[in-house]
Amino acid sequence: MLLKIKRSNRSHNHKTQAAIAMEQRAEAAGKDEAASIFRKFIEKQKRKQNRKMLRPNTELLKDTVMQEVPRYVDLSTGTLVGEDKKYEALRRSMRHLEERGIIR
């Protein structure tokens, strides 16, 4: 049954909810081994969700950087740049943010 849940084309939340229901059914039936299998899957899903939540939204950061900051500021040096140098400053700023792990 767990493979059926894993292979389904459902969302992360739907899979977790299905596993919780199956775990509860197994516990009610006294099948502790089956319940522990579902519990492991649920914990794995929780860890996966926590990693997603901790990961910064890189597209949003890139959009923000592209739209607001590097037009006139080079983030790697913190200096103002003129209109003719803004694209070079953008490349340096993006590299600066990637090196620090802020964006990928």
Taking Cα atoms as reference points, which of 44, 41, 46 lies closest to residue 26? 41
What integer pLDDT is reported at residue 58 of this predicted model? 62
Least confident interval from 12-21, 74-83, 87-96 = 74-83
Does pTM top 0.75 for this prediction? no
What integer pLDDT is reported at residue 90 of this predicted model? 73
Domain shared by 50 and 70, yes or no: no
Residue 104, domain member (yes or no): no
Domain-terminating residue out of 54, 71, 89: 54
Q: Which residues pair with 73 in a beta bridge?
A: 80
What integer pLDDT is reported at residue 69 of this predicted model? 47
Domain shared by 48 and 62, yes or no: no
Least confident interval from 16-20, 70-74, 87-91 = 70-74
Query: Greater confidence, 3 or 56?
Result: 3
Q: Helix %, strand %, coil % for the chain, to 5?
A: 70, 5, 25
Taking Cα atoms as reference points, which of 47, 103, 35, 49 lies closest to residue 75? 103
Average pLDDT of the residues in 32-61: 83
Query: What span, in angstroms and rounded, lies between the C-alpha atoms of 55 and 57?
Result: 6
Residue 73, domain member (yes or no): yes
Average pLDDT of the residues in 20-35: 95
Domain shared by 50 and 63, yes or no: no
Query: What span, in angstroms and rounded, lies between the C-alpha atoms of 23 and 17?
Result: 10
Total domains present in the chain: 2
Q: Which residues contact 12 (CB under 8 A, 6 or more apart)?
A: 45, 48, 49
